Amino acid sequence: MKLPNFIQGRWIAHEGEGLPQYDAVTGALLGTCGSEGIDYAAVFAYGREQGGRQLRRMTFHERGLMLKKLAMHLHGLRKQYYPLSYRTGATKSDSWVDIDGGIGTLFAYASLRRQFADLPFHIDGDMVKTSKEGTFVAQHIMVPRQGVAVHINAFNFPVWGMLEKISVNLLAGMPAVVKASEVTSYLTQAVVADIVKSGILPEGALQLICGGGTGILDAVESQDVVTFTGSASTGKMLKSWPSITEHAVPFNMEADSLNAAILGADAVPGSPLFDLFVREVQREITSKAGQKCTAIRRVIVPEAMLDAVQEALAARLDRVIIGDPNEGQVEMGSLVSQAQVAEVQHSLGQLQQASEVVYSRSISDLVAADPEKGAFFAPVVLMNRDPFGKTATHDIEAFGPVCTLIPYREAAEAAAIVRLGKGSLVSTLATADPQIARDYVMEAAAYHGRIHLLNEQSARESTGHGSPLPLLLHGGPGRAGGGSELGGVRGVKHYLQTTAIQADPGMLTAVTGIYQYGAPYLRSPVHPFRKHFEELQIGETWITHKHTVTETDIVNFANMTGDHFYAHTDETALEGTLFEKRVAHGYFVLSKAAGLFVDPAKGPVLLNYGLDSCRFTKPVYPGMTIGVRFTVREKIAQEKRDENDIKKGIVKFLVDVYDQSGETVAIATILTMVKMLNQDDN
């Protein structure tokens, strides 16, 4: 069977013989894949024009809801991907991480829509005042890049590897061209086929290359983004590709790294923490048969505990059931291919020049599998007693179920050994001692994208050493590639171009769709609390009546709240302070402002939703008169929770409290939930 590519809106079979794809467990030929004859310039142009144009027209909220719909669709189909996943050598738990984990990432990024304005672009930070009178100001905005996101993925996570990347670029408003690994692209293709069939994504938003992808980078241009997951050596080669350097194309590399697990000196043999550590190491050796970019490769333990760790780890590895993932009791499957077996064997041979094998086992006792046909590789543990003299351990990675035990004498030495890896995605430190944890973080954080501190308090809910989470950074410095994926909003910004817009506040308001302080007001004779969501306009302002603050106000507020801070209640204690006399509470000023701007009668406003920001900029003394300029700053439509919910949105109001001279004394942004006028879903 020829595995087709999905390009330019069509499924197209590859030309020529293609590359064979095998069942990793049985060795059976599944079919072929290929990418010969593909015009990548045309593929990218199609994505930029068709997918990019439609995605950029959508707001962050619309794109987020699109991701949510896609996640729900795939969640309903997820069980049908498991049999295919087993053919890659992945167990049921491995497949859960890949399939359900990938779909979970879609859900996570769908929920991030709430951290962006309901606009096609992102407002980055506050307005910058660049002139004395405030008539010439600036605002940074971040807009979707007008290219394609080219994702070159590894073989080990055919589903998660794709979904975790497209979750981010689609939310940002960029289309994707996914180059799946030719070894496992049959699983990626099955998921993409269901995505295409659903019609949820705009045309051109997602294209798939199932073959080798030779020449794919030759067609990239300055507005494109390239991401790569795989070996550090391949990543370095691609990062220096002529078209990447010539067009200054952003290149994000997430490379395999020599991740470490460190046993704290307080985690003595026989303690629960010691057992947690050994269990974590065993899990990372056998999960995905060690074929994870986050897998533990170096196990660094106090010298006095070396033998105890070796014995405990060997005992746990002896109990691991290896075989066909279709069998429910199997805990570790095969490597992805016979070629990968040869690669791991070669790397293991290099590692043995610096280390001795202290644990290995036969694969003759596989469950329902033939070791001669499948790509099976049993766990191996090495020992390097001279980590500073024999450095191959810190340079060579066997991308399989292989790790090396390393002794250390003191905590500083443990961190120094970790740093010999020249940059890692993650390390785990097992300790219950805060000082050990703090010292390690300070010494090792610069060399990591993530540090996992393991103890009894966190273990019950810990997602573990090897689990990149959608809202946390996935990447690392140096050998790990120097890039970053995921990380919540941080990841989305990778696909956006930051631009500073300079203008007067009124023009900035018109361009950004968010009221900028100093812009002209839109006056209305109708109080904004009498208007429905659709009727409110950005910049619409209500000027309230005024109130003169008295000492009685201050005393009553202090008695009501219990806030008797000296500046409000003891005028004799003000010498040497910033205050001239007794000062009104900041929260009295804000509370009184609410009394001034609120229209009390029942209307479209459903509730006060909270505060986005609040600053008290000038003291308010008895005798001063305050008023409020109450302005519609931003509007965010909300989706209905269920069919019984009403249609509504969040309106952010700028509360500008000013004194008798017109000078601002307090400024805040409040959120209100406002009913929509049109309750018809159609």
Alpha-carbon span 203 to 5, nearest angstrom: 15
DSSP H helical ranges for 338-488 = 338-351, 411-419, 434-444, 456-459
- What is the distance between the alpha carbons of residues 280 and 466, in angstroms, rounded to a whole number? 9
Q: Return the structure tokens found at 99.
A: 């399939």
Q: Could you give phi then psi for residue 309, rounded to 5 degrees?
A: -65, -45
What is the spatial distance between Cα 134 and Cα 75, in angstroms, rounded to a whole number? 51
One-letter amino acid of 8 = Q
Residues 211, 237: Cα–Cα separation, whole Å: 19
- Nearest-angstrom CA–CA distance, 638 and 655: 22
pLDDT at 365 over 60: yes
Section 4-11 average pLDDT: 97
The predicted structure's pLDDT at residue 682:
54
**Residue % of the chain over a pLDDT of 70:** 100
What pLDDT, on the 0 to 100 scale, is given for residue 3? Answer: 96
Among 286-295, 478-487, 547-556, the least confident range: 478-487
1-13: average pLDDT: 95
Tell me the pLDDT tens digit for each residue of 150-189.
Answer: 999 999 999 999 999 999 999 999 999 999 999 999 999 9
Q: What is the CATH number of domain 521-675?
A: 3.10.129.10
pLDDT category of residue 681 using cuts at 50, 70 and 90? low
Per residue in 180-189, pLDDT (tens digit) is 999 999 999 9
Residues with a known catalytic role: 254, 293
End-to-end CA distance of the chain: 45
CATH class label, 259-467: alpha beta
What residues contact 586, with CB distance under 8 A and at least 6 apart? 616, 666
> How far is 480 from 501, CA to CA, in rounded Å?
35
Adjacent-strand bridge partners of 523: 541
pLDDT at 548: 98
Query: What is the band of 394 on the pLDDT scale with cuts at 50, 70, 90?
Result: very high
**517 token code pair:** 């302080």
Average confidence (pLDDT) over 436-446 = 97
Give dist(CA 123, CA 515) in Å, integer: 11
Give the residue with greater pLDDT, 271 vs 572. Answer: 271
Sequence letter at residue 320: V
Distance CA 576, CA 626 (A): 27
Two structure tokens written together for 272? 């629960």
**5-255+490-497 CATH fold:** Aldehyde Dehydrogenase; Chain A, domain 1 (3.40.605)
Count of helix runs (H) and strand runs (E) in the chain:
21, 28
Sheet of strand 496-503: strand arrangement:
122-129, 137-144, 496-503
Q: Flag whether pLDDT at 51 surpasses 80.
A: yes
Q: What is the pLDDT at residue 638?
A: 87
pLDDT tens across 257-280, in order?
A: 999 999 999 999 999 999 999 999
259 closest CA partner among 215, 297, 302, 309: 297
Residue 618 has pLDDT above 60, yes or no: yes
| 8 A C-beta contact, residue 225 and residue 169 | yes
Strands 625-638 and 19-22, sheet pairing: unpaired
Domain boundaries, the chain: 5-255+490-497, 259-467, 521-675
User: The tokens of 675 are what?
Assistant: 């009913």
Are the beta carbons of 336 and 184 closer than 8 angstroms? yes
Q: Are 86 and 323 in contact (CB under 8 A)?
A: no
Q: Name the token pair of 21.
A: 């794809």
Round to whole Å and give the CA distance between 415 and 419.
Answer: 6
Provide the whole-model pTM.
0.93
Residue that wins the pLDDT comparison between 663 and 682: 663
